[in-house]
Amino acid sequence: METSLYDAALNNVRASRLTDLELLYAPSQIALAAFSLILPDVAAQWVASKSHTEDSSLSKILDDIKTTITSQGNPPSVESVREVDRRLRLCKNPEKVVGSKAYLARKTDEERTATEKRNKKAAEVQRAMQNADPFGNEIGEKRGLVDYDDDDDD
């Protein structure tokens, strides 16, 4: 019997996941409301033991959550899910759909730019090797910034 009560409360929690309750209330409040739908007397006793006033705000919150679970916690119909899926297909970025013309054009463009970068880098390395400076001109140009004759021993 305890397992069936737990499963029923768990089903109420699952139904709450189909609503926006998770954005509005704390998980503990949602769990208590789900339990309260199964055993309202036990949940009311627990709330009474935890709250110091008769008219607590927790009771109102639990009532709001229970109402939302029972009224909006139903799974959507298969046809409505299919309709949303059809609409989402129209919203896809064609550049990210493998095999589409836009995807192939983007991949070709990326390969072209990568090839250009490689060719430019190879040309720079070739120029550096021809100038007999494998590290490039930047290091050679900066040699004048350091005074190697500076003696700090004086």
Model pTM score: 0.54
Domain assignment present for residue 89? The answer is no
pLDDT digit string, tens, across residues 132-151:
766 655 555 555 556 666 66
Domain assignment present for residue 71? The answer is yes
Long-range contacts of 35-43 (CB under 8 A, 24+ apart): 35/9, 36/62, 36/66, 37/9, 37/12, 37/66, 37/69, 37/70, 38/5, 38/8, 38/9, 38/12, 39/5
Domain assignment present for residue 52? The answer is yes
Domain assignment present for residue 151? The answer is no
pLDDT digit string, tens, across residues 45-75:
888 887 766 557 888 899 999 999 999 988 8
